[in-house]
Chains A and B, each alone.
Chain A
C-alpha cells in the first residue's frame, strides 16, 4: 500500500517535472503544420502565410508547412490523429474534420483532436452571376416556387451542400444541386449562367464580387458585414438561418501537453495582431477571426451540432 502510494507520488512528481521541463523547452525543434491538401489552395496558402508571420516569433525551431494530400483530406487528417502528441505535429483544421467521421468510415474520431486556435471564419454566401435576373433573395424565393433552382456547390456532402439542404428545410426553398470539383469550376458555372445560383464561402468569392462579375445576395453571418455594404444576412432576408460558417484553425492530437497548446494558441494570437498579416489576409478576402482553444472548441461543437442534424435528416451518411 505504502509502496503504491510512494510510487504514485513519485510518478506525479516526475510527470510534473517533465511537464515543466517541457514547458520551458517547447518548441525546441521544428513544428510541422500538416495541410491535408495539395499546395496552392486556400488552406495551404493561409497556412503558409501563418508560418511566414509565425516564424518571426519563433526562436528555436520553425513552423514548417507539410502537404499530405489524398482522400479529400482524410489521409492527412488521419496522419495527425495518429501522430505523437508532443506538440510538434499540428493539423491545419477545417470544417471537414468535423463532418468526415460522421459521413464516412474514417480511422479517426473528432475527439482524437484538441482544438488549438481559430484564425479564419468564412460565412456562406448566396451568389448569382452579374447578368442574373435575380436581384434579391425575394426573387429567388419566388422563382423557387415555380421550379427547383439549379445551385452549384463544391461537392455533395460538403459544408456548402449542407448549407443548401439547411436552406431547403428552414426557408422552404427548392434546389437542384449541381456538384462541381473546386471553386474555379463553380465560378465558371455561375458567371456563364449555366446555373441559377451558387453557394460559396465568402473568402473564395469576395474578390470576384468586388470585380463585379458576380453578385452576393445574402451572407450567413450573425450581423451584416462591414466589408459587404448593402448585403443583408440570411436571417434578415427571411431565410431563417442565423449563421452558417466554415472555419480554419489549428488542432493537435489529443493528449498533447497543455503547455504546447497554450504556446501555439498564443502564437496564433500574436500573428493575428500583426498589421502586415491582417492586410495580406484581408487583401485576398479571407475574413479574420481569432479565438483561443476554448473559443475554437465552442465553434467546433456548434458546427458539429448543426451539421449532425442535416446529415441525419437527409441521410447523407455512407451506407455500408
Chain B
C-alpha cells in the first residue's frame, strides 16, 4: 500500500497532474481527428519528451492513451467517420442514433461506457497485475493461434445479411494479409518488387483509407445526389438532447458493460491480441443479447440502426484494453500492443526499462504510471462531458462541402505521417476506393477488417506452433500441455456451429408446426 501512496503522491504534484489533464484533453482532440491516433501522436511526442521530467512525459502519455478512444467516437457518432480504428463499430449504431435526433444520448453512452471500461481496466492494473501477467505468459504460439481462430469465428456474428458476401469480405482481408515477407522464409510474397510492401501493406494508411476515405466518398455521393435533386445540403446531426444518461439506461447497459469490459481486459492482457479484436468480440457477443432482449420491442430500433448496446459494447471494450495492455509491459517488460510498446521508447529516452526492475530502481515512476491510469479514467468523465459539445461543434458543424475536403486532407496527412512516405497516401486512397466500391456492392467491412488484423497473427503462430510440435496438429487440442488452446478451439467451434444448430432447429420446428396444422385441418 505504501507503494500506491508513493505513486499517488508523485501524481499529485500539481505539474504532473497538469500534464495528465493536458494529455486527456489532447487525447480527446487527437482521437476526434480522423487520420490521427494515439500511435501517431506518441511518435511525434516522444522525441520532444527529452527535456521533460519522466513523470511529466509519462503522465501526459497516460492521459492521451486513455482519452483517445473516446475522442474517436465523437466523429464516429456525429458524421459516421471513425476518428480512430477503435470506434469503427461505434459509428454504425452511434450515427444512426444521432440521425434520429439523439446525438447527445449517443455521445453520453459512448463516454460513460468508455469510462466504465477504463476504470475496470485500471483497477486490474492496480490490484491484479502480477497474477494477470503470469496468465499472459501462458500464451505461446499455440494459444495465440487458437485465440486468432476464436476471433475469426466471431466473424459469423458480423456477416450481416448475406453469408456469401460476408465470407467474401473475410477472404479478401485474409488475402491482403498475406502480402509482405513470410516470417518462415524471410522472403517477400506478392510485393511485386515494391520495397514499401515488404512488411505487408502499411496498416495505418490501410485503415485510414477504409474508414476515413470511404466515409468521405459516401459523404460526397450524398452531397452530389442532393444537389442533383435541387435539395439544400442536409445538416449534420446536432446535439439537441441531454448528454447525461439516466438511471434506467445505466441499469440496462450495465450487463453489457461488464461483459465487454471482461473481454477487453482479457484481450488487453494478452500480448499481441489488440484492441480491434476486443471490440469485434464484444460487439458480436452483445448483438445476441440485444436481439434476444430488446429487438422488436416498441421504441427499440433494429441492431445496427441505433441500438444503445451497439455503442456501449465497443466503447467499453476498447477502453478496457487500455490499462490492461500495460500489465505485461510493467510486470514483465513485454509490450501488450503497439501503443504500449511506445511507452518503452518514452522510458528508454529517460534511461529506464519497463519490467520488474523499474519497480526497484524507480518505484515513484512505476507506481505513478499505474495510479495515473485510474485517475485519468476518473477525470476523463467530467472532462469529456465538458468538452464534447465544443469538439463536435468546432469542426463537425461545418457545411458538408467544407467538411469533405477537410476530412480528406486530415486522413491523407495521417496516412503520410505513419511512415513519412508518399506511398502510404496511395495506400489510403486505394483502400478508400476499394472500401467505397465494396460497400456499394453490399459487402460488409467488419469481416474484412477483422481478417486483416488477424490474418498474420494466425499464420505466424500456426507456423511456429507446428515448428515446435514437429508438425503435429494435436498440439492445439492437447488437454494437458495446452488446455487454454483447447478451450479456445472449442469456443470457436461453438461460435461457428451455433447459428447452424439454431437455424436448423428453427426450420425443424417450423416444419413440425406446419405438419401439425395440416393434420388439424
Residues of A within 8 A of B (CB): 38-41, 44-45, 48-49, 52, 65-72, 74-75, 78, 103-107, 150, 155-158, 161, 176-181, 184-185, 187-189, 191-195, 207-208, 210-213, 279-280, 283-285, 316, 318-319
Residues of B within 8 A of A (CB): 42-43, 46-47, 50, 137-142, 181, 183-188, 193, 195-199, 202, 271-272, 328, 332-335, 341-342, 344-345, 348-349, 351-353, 355-357, 419-421, 423, 460, 464, 467-468, 470
A185 to B341, CA, bound (A): 11
Nearest CB of chain B from residue A176's CB, rounded to whole Å: 6
Nearest CB of chain B from residue A131's CB, rounded to whole Å: 10
A106 to B193, CA, bound (A): 9
A196 and chain B: residue at smallest CB distance: B468
Q: Which of A44, A177, A212 contacts B356 (CB 8 A)?
A: A212
Q: Do A40 and B353 touch across chains, with their CB atoms under 8 A apart?
A: no
Residue contacts A-B, CB under 8 angstroms, 8 given = A48-B349, A68-B420, A178-B468, A180-B183, A185-B272, A188-B271, A191-B137, A211-B355
Q: Do A49 and B140 touch across chains, with their CB atoms under 8 A apart?
A: no
Given A39-B47, A187-B333, A284-B351: A69 touches B419 (CB 8 Å cut-off): yes
Q: Which residues of A contact B333 (CB under 8 A)?
A: 184, 187, 207-208, 211, 213
Q: Which residues of B contact A208 (CB under 8 A)?
A: 333, 353, 355
Nearest CB of chain A from residue B239's CB, rounded to whole Å: 37
A40 to B302, CA, bound (A): 44
Q: Which residues of A contact B351 (CB under 8 A)?
A: 279-280, 283-284
Q: Do B195 and A71 touch across chains, with their CB atoms under 8 A apart?
A: yes
The 4 closest A-B pairs by CB, nearest first: A194-B140, A156-B186, A40-B345, A71-B195
Q: Which of A70, A181, A213 contacts B196 (CB 8 A)?
A: A70
A177 to B195, CA, bound (A): 25
Given A49-B349, A70-B198, A176-B467: A105 touches B193 (CB 8 Å cut-off): yes
Nearest CB of chain A from residue B513's CB, rounded to whole Å: 53
Nearest CB of chain B from residue A46's CB, rounded to whole Å: 9
Q: Do B357 and A210 touch across chains, with their CB atoms under 8 A apart?
A: yes
Q: Do B342 and A207 touch across chains, with their CB atoms under 8 A apart?
A: no
Q: Do A68 and B419 touch across chains, with their CB atoms under 8 A apart?
A: yes
Nearest CB of chain A from residue B332's CB, rounded to whole Å: 6
A72 to B184, CA, bound (A): 15
A87 to B328, CA, bound (A): 43
Nearest CB of chain A from residue B250's CB, rounded to whole Å: 38
Q: Do B464 and A213 touch across chains, with their CB atoms under 8 A apart?
A: no
A68 to B202, CA, bound (A): 13
Given A45-B345, A184-B334, A185-B271: A70 touches B467 (CB 8 Å cut-off): no
Q: Do A181 and B183 touch across chains, with their CB atoms under 8 A apart?
A: yes
A318 to B189, CA, bound (A): 11
A223 to B352, CA, bound (A): 27
Nearest CB of chain A from residue B458's CB, rounded to whole Å: 14
Q: Do A72 and B199 touch across chains, with their CB atoms under 8 A apart?
A: yes
Q: Do A48 and B357 touch across chains, with their CB atoms under 8 A apart?
A: no
Nearest CB of chain A from residue B366's CB, rounded to whole Å: 12
B186 and chain A: residue at smallest CB distance: A156
B140 and chain A: residue at smallest CB distance: A194
Nearest CB of chain B from residue A51's CB, rounded to whole Å: 9
Given A40-B46, A150-B468: A71 touches B353 (CB 8 Å cut-off): no
Q: Do A40 and B202 touch across chains, with their CB atoms under 8 A apart?
A: no
A104 to B198, CA, bound (A): 11
A319 to B188, CA, bound (A): 11
Given A40-B344, A70-B421, A211-B356: A78 touches B195 (CB 8 Å cut-off): yes
Nearest CB of chain A from residue B337's CB, rounded to whole Å: 10
Nearest CB of chain B from residue A152's CB, rounded to whole Å: 9
Q: Which residues of B contact A212 (CB under 8 A)?
A: 356
Q: Do B353 and A207 touch across chains, with their CB atoms under 8 A apart?
A: yes
Q: Which residues of A contact B344 (CB under 8 A)?
A: 40, 184
A104 to B355, CA, bound (A): 36
Q: Which residues of B contact A106 (CB under 8 A)?
A: 195
Q: Do A71 and B198 touch across chains, with their CB atoms under 8 A apart?
A: yes
A191 to B351, CA, bound (A): 23
Known: A70-B421, A176-B468. 7 other contacts (CB 8 A): A70-B199, A70-B419, A75-B419, A103-B186, A157-B186, A194-B141, A194-B468
B50 and chain A: residue at smallest CB distance: A52
Q: Do B468 and A45 touch across chains, with their CB atoms under 8 A apart?
A: no
A105 to B194, CA, bound (A): 10
Q: Which of A40, A68, A72 contacts B421 (CB 8 A)?
A: A68
Given A65-B47, A178-B141, A178-B468: A75 touches B195 (CB 8 Å cut-off): yes
Q: Do A177 and B467 touch across chains, with their CB atoms under 8 A apart?
A: yes
Q: Do B186 and A155 touch across chains, with their CB atoms under 8 A apart?
A: yes
A68 to B423, CA, bound (A): 11
Q: Do B467 and A178 touch across chains, with their CB atoms under 8 A apart?
A: yes
Q: Which residues of B contact A177 (CB under 8 A)?
A: 467
Q: Which residues of B contact A161 (CB under 8 A)?
A: 186
A161 to B184, CA, bound (A): 12
A259 to B17, CA, bound (A): 49
A105 to B192, CA, bound (A): 12
Q: Do B334 and A191 touch across chains, with their CB atoms under 8 A apart?
A: yes
Q: Do A45 and B334 touch across chains, with their CB atoms under 8 A apart?
A: no
A242 to B284, CA, bound (A): 56
Q: Do A211 and B357 touch across chains, with their CB atoms under 8 A apart?
A: yes
Q: Do A192 and B139 touch across chains, with their CB atoms under 8 A apart?
A: yes
Q: Which residues of A contact B328 (CB under 8 A)?
A: 188
A75 to B198, CA, bound (A): 10
Nearest CB of chain A from residue B467's CB, rounded to whole Å: 6
Nearest CB of chain A from residue B133's CB, rounded to whole Å: 10
A157 to B187, CA, bound (A): 9
Q: Do A45 and B348 touch across chains, with their CB atoms under 8 A apart?
A: yes
A72 and chain B: residue at smallest CB distance: B198
Nearest CB of chain B from residue A64's CB, rounded to whole Å: 10
A194 and chain B: residue at smallest CB distance: B140
Q: Do A38 and B419 touch across chains, with their CB atoms under 8 A apart?
A: yes
Nearest CB of chain B from residue A161's CB, rounded to whole Å: 8
Q: Which of B142, B184, B349 contacts A45 (CB 8 A)?
A: B349
Q: Which residues of B contact A316 (CB under 8 A)?
A: 186
Given A156-B183, A207-B333: A70 touches B423 (CB 8 Å cut-off): yes
Q: Do B181 and A39 touch across chains, with their CB atoms under 8 A apart?
A: no
A184 to B47, CA, bound (A): 21
Q: Which residues of A contact B342 (CB under 8 A)?
A: 39-40
Q: Which residues of B contact A191 (CB under 8 A)?
A: 137, 332, 334
